[in-house]
Amino acid sequence: MGSNIIKLNREQMKTYIKYFNEIGINDIQRVGGKNASLGEMYQNLSNKGVAVPDGFALTSVAYWEFLDHNELRNQLDTLLSTLDTDNFSNLHEVGEKCRQLMLSGSFNKELEDKIKEGYDYLLGQYGEGVTFAARSSATAEDLPNASFAGQQETYLNVTGIDNLLKACHRCYASLFTDRAIKYRSDNGFEHSKVALSIGVQLMVRSDKACSGVMFTLDPDTGFEKVALIAGAWGLGENVVQGTVNTDEFLVYKPFLGKVKQAIISRELGTKEKTMIYSEKSINDIVKPEDAIINKDTPMSQQQSFILSDEEVIKLAEWAIIIEQHYKKHMDIEWAKDGTSGKLFIVQARPETVHSQKTEKVSFKEYTISEKGKLICEGIGLGNSIVTGRARLLESPSEMDKLYKGEILVTGRTDPDWDPVLKKAGAIITDQGGRTSHAAIVAREVGATAIVGTGNATKLIKDGQIITVSTAEGNTGFIYEGEASWEEKEIDLSQVEIPKTDVMLILGHPEQAFKYSSLPNSGIGLMRMEFIINNSIRVHPMALRHFEKILDKDVRLEIEELTHHYPDKQDYFIHRLAESIATIAAAFHPKDVIVRMSDFKSNEYANLLGGRDFEPKEENPMIGFRGASRYYHPLYREAFEMECKAIKLVREDMGFTNVKVMIPFVRNVAEAQKVISIMESQGLKRGQNGLELYMMVEIPSNALLAEEFAKYFDGFSIGSNDLTQLTLGADRDSELLSEVFTPFDPAVMQLIKMSIEKANALGVKIGLCGQAPSDYPEYAHFLVDCGINSISFNPDALLKGIENIVKAEKSYRG
């Protein structure tokens, strides 16, 4: 290697350090990816309001000079040549000797002076008393696109020039951590060609506030119109490693700066731990983790959001500025300074999963037919199902116990786990959120993952056969044994679209982004009761009149759910509004028709606090349900809360594509009463484009369609209830299953009558149900009648489209 020693002239010596205002993204070869990105943003985005802490970078030239000044190149080469690259049996021993060799060296005077010069510059910028971060950023001169993220060390909260010099020295040594050596060996990089740059930057005191990450798209589905912001109290390592369940905020990017409320979803995480700095001096720190303490988060902070709405919006605006500058989706780190209260961007890199996908538009459908007992659940990532043998590992050193394709079960992961994760068929962790290390790596390697289960390592046995399913929404499920399922990949670009509008039936917001890519004309039926049951869980009247609940356990459970809402009604209104807004955002600007709640009294009674407010009925199916509830004293206040949620979505959040549908309207007088209440809550038909729809599910709706059309802009046929009430046959009765059929002539006559009347009146009319996908002849019947739209559950959509296309070709030529 002696012949490769670089002889520095005075001009080159000037390149020992480069200030952030001197470097950009084209300087990766000299300062590494982290520093190049920070310089790029500091230079180009500071004048657009994006706050990036100033700093400087020790260049690769400085690193090579450090090696040459201490005559380390040949010694390092000799040591690394002894590495067992087959089994890495002596990895720790070789790594330890390399690090000691690096630490035995010293800076030459010119390099030390340059570091002091940069230190003085930053003190001049920010004043005495500030602290600094020394961040490693490896690079390869002839491999400018190589990524060494997470392989080297970072030293935080460094005070004084002497400690900064020590931190820089240790950063150089960290180029030879065990994981960094193995990473380069695994990826075919020559150790002698990889240099280390160090970024010295103002330390953002997030230990006194909060920090986290954000993506300029939804990282699970690739949906591009939202920014996801996640974080926790204290330093960001807890977020990245998945040690805590984070707060998460979804912002609808197209509406930023245009509406009162562009935040469409807030999820409060438990944030059990807060990472802060220890009081140790750098001389007492053997490893970077010695510099921090992970303490329990006080309950008051666990139950509070880390950011105000204004701060969330500011971060989202910065995310868009960064995305537009780089012209690609980005993965960004942010931090809040607890001393100044200011927000900063501390890193940005291209998003690596969805950005690299091909243009082919396809949809993979999974349907479980048989499954074992549920073991546990968590946050599901991806959309797939995997069966295999569970392998419980406590640390990456146990990697040899995991065979390729087995399911890794562990507490949490960090970059040391990367080689292990690539072998796993699926990944399960106790801790972590959607932006944790395990989640990010799982997406990158295409693995199925469930994170944040809380107790998977206690409930799953090593060697047990299990099934991991993330194909059932945002919640991932782990089942005993080997499940059976069907999977089908559909090339959506080849799907022929019919003239009849094809819409979706949806009730789960977490599925909205995924299903928005299917061919559709919007949402024909959004079931509000699904949201109330799954996301809210509390009877609205129990929130309106909490004092009337007698059961202490129920009161305690409601208190736990609503603790961060001073007014319990706001819990219902905001949770409902955010769920509706998420679906509206996924399909905007297409119509999203929201059906107001349609629980029966026995179903409402099952909600928390419901038994104190619901009557006991012999036949709830034809009892106190639908429009009759909305104006009745027993429920009117709750209906007004539903209206407030809709108004919030349409007016404050800007989703005027949301339409409102009223179910089970028995007569015209009920329609008048309900519409009057809606108007009193600021939901006036025609105002701000508001359209009202009515379900056609009672024979009176079809018979008096002309009268009902005076109050509604459209109808939607609910074929199950219409069949039930036309034939007098309980739709849930097995004994009457032969009687209950959508093909009954009386039912079909009422449907035909409804469609013909609506068309004559110029009122839109659709049908929601399974029959047009199950029975091609039923689709043919609806097309012949002149139906405007048909809505399907997602799993029936493509078959339904096929049936409609055939019917149209047959009927319309």
Contacts of 71 (CB under 8 A, 6+ apart): none
Asked if 627 and 671 touch (Cβ cutoff 8 Å), the reply is yes
What number of CA atoms fall less than 13 Å from residue 793's CA on the CB side? 10
Q: Which of 707, 132, 182 is nearest to 420 (CA)?
A: 182
What number of CA atoms fall less than 13 Å from residue 795's CA on the CB side? 11
DSSP letter for each residue of 474-485: SEEEEEES--EE
| Rounded average pLDDT over 433-442 | 75
Asked if 472 and 777 touch (Cβ cutoff 8 Å), the reply is no
How far the first Cα of the chain sits from its last, in Å, is 79
Residue-level pLDDT at 417: 77
Asked if 158 and 133 touch (Cβ cutoff 8 Å), the reply is yes
What distance separates the 2 farthest-apart alpha carbons in the chain?
Answer: 96
Q: Check whether 532 has a pLDDT greater than 70.
A: yes
pLDDT, tens digit (0-9, with 9 covering 90-100), for 475-504: 899 999 999 888 877 778 788 899 999 999
Residue type, 478: I
Q: How confident is the model at residue 797 (pLDDT cuts 50, 70, 90)?
A: confident
Q: Check whether 449 has a pLDDT greater than 70.
A: yes
Tokens of 242: 């998945």
Asked if 639 and 596 touch (Cβ cutoff 8 Å), the reply is yes
Residue 116 CA, chain-centre distance (Å), reads 43
HEC string of 54-97 equals CEEEECHHHHHHHHHHCCCHHHHHHHHCCCCCCCCCCHHHHHHH
Q: Check whether 274 has a pLDDT greater than 90.
A: yes
How far is residue 541 from each of residues 595, 605, 609, measured CA to CA in Å?
A: 19, 11, 8
Residue-level pLDDT at 359: 52
Burial 760-797 (b: 16+ CB within 10 A, else e): eeebbbbbbbbbbbeebebbbbbbebebbbbbbbbebb
Angstrom distance (rounded) from CA 84 to CA 476: 40
Q: Which of 181, 1, 180 is nearest to 75 (CA)?
A: 1
Q: How confident is the model at residue 160 (pLDDT cuts 50, 70, 90)?
A: very high
Angstrom distance (rounded) from CA 763 to CA 694: 11
Radius of gyration for the alpha carbons in the chain, expressed in angstroms and rounded: 31
Residue-level pLDDT at 243: 84
Q: Check whether 358 has a pLDDT greater than 70.
A: no
- Name, of 332-341, 418-427, 615-624, the range with top average pLDDT: 332-341
What SS3 state is found at 379?
strand
| Rounded average pLDDT over 251-262 | 97
Asked if 158 and 99 touch (Cβ cutoff 8 Å), the reply is no
Asked if 110 and 61 touch (Cβ cutoff 8 Å), the reply is no
Residue ranges in 279-417 assigned as alpha helix (H): 299-302, 309-326
Contacts of 274 (CB under 8 A, 6+ apart): 232, 233, 234, 238, 294, 295, 296, 297, 301
Tokens of 540: 């609205």
Residue-level pLDDT at 141: 47
Residue 175 CA, chain-centre distance (Å), reads 33
Q: Which H or E run includes 330? A: strand 330-336
Quick one: angle between helices 636-647 and 668-680, nearest 10?
Answer: 60
| Rounded average pLDDT over 322-329 | 95
Q: Which of 434, 428, 400 is nearest to 412 (CA)?
A: 428
Tokens of 157: 């909260």
Contacts of 53 (CB under 8 A, 6+ apart): 201, 202, 203, 204, 344, 346
Peptide bond into 745 cis (omega under 30): no
Q: Check whether 770 has a pLDDT greater than 90.
A: no
Q: Check whether 745 has a pLDDT greater than 60.
A: yes
Dihedral angle sign, alpha carbons of residues 577, 578, 584, 585: positive
What SS3 state is found at 380?
strand
What SS3 state is found at 594?
strand
| Rounded average pLDDT over 609-620 | 92
pLDDT, tens digit (0-9, with 9 covering 90-100), for 545-572: 999 998 999 999 999 999 989 999 999 9
Residue numbers annotated as active site? 437, 768
Q: Check whether 659 has a pLDDT greater than 50.
A: yes
| Length of the chain measured in residues | 813
Asked if 50 and 322 touch (Cβ cutoff 8 Å), the reply is yes
Q: Which phi and psi angles does 369 have, rounded to 5°?
A: -100, -35
Q: What angle do CA 784, 789, 792 make, to 5 degrees?
A: 110
Angstrom distance (rounded) from CA 334 to CA 209: 12
Burial 523-540 (b: 16+ CB within 10 A, else e): bbbbbbbebbbeebebbb
Q: Which H or E run includes 779? A: helix 776-785
Contacts of 47 (CB under 8 A, 6+ apart): none
Q: What is the pTM of this model?
A: 0.84
Q: Check whether 135 has a pLDDT greater than 80.
A: yes
Residue-level pLDDT at 594: 98
- Listed range (126-140, 280-294, 636-650, 712-726) with the worst mean pLDDT: 280-294
Residue 15 CA, chain-centre distance (Å), reads 42
- Name, of 128-137, 268-277, 659-668, the range with top average pLDDT: 659-668
As a dihedral over the C-alpha atoms of residue 207, residue 209, residue 212, residue 214, rounded to 10 degrees, the angle is -150
Q: Check whether 325 has a pLDDT greater than 80.
A: yes
Q: Check whether 434 has a pLDDT greater than 80.
A: no
Q: Which phi and psi angles does 240 have, rounded to 5°?
A: -65, -40
pLDDT, tens digit (0-9, with 9 covering 90-100), for 692-742: 999 999 999 999 999 999 999 999 999 888 998 999 888 767 677 788 888
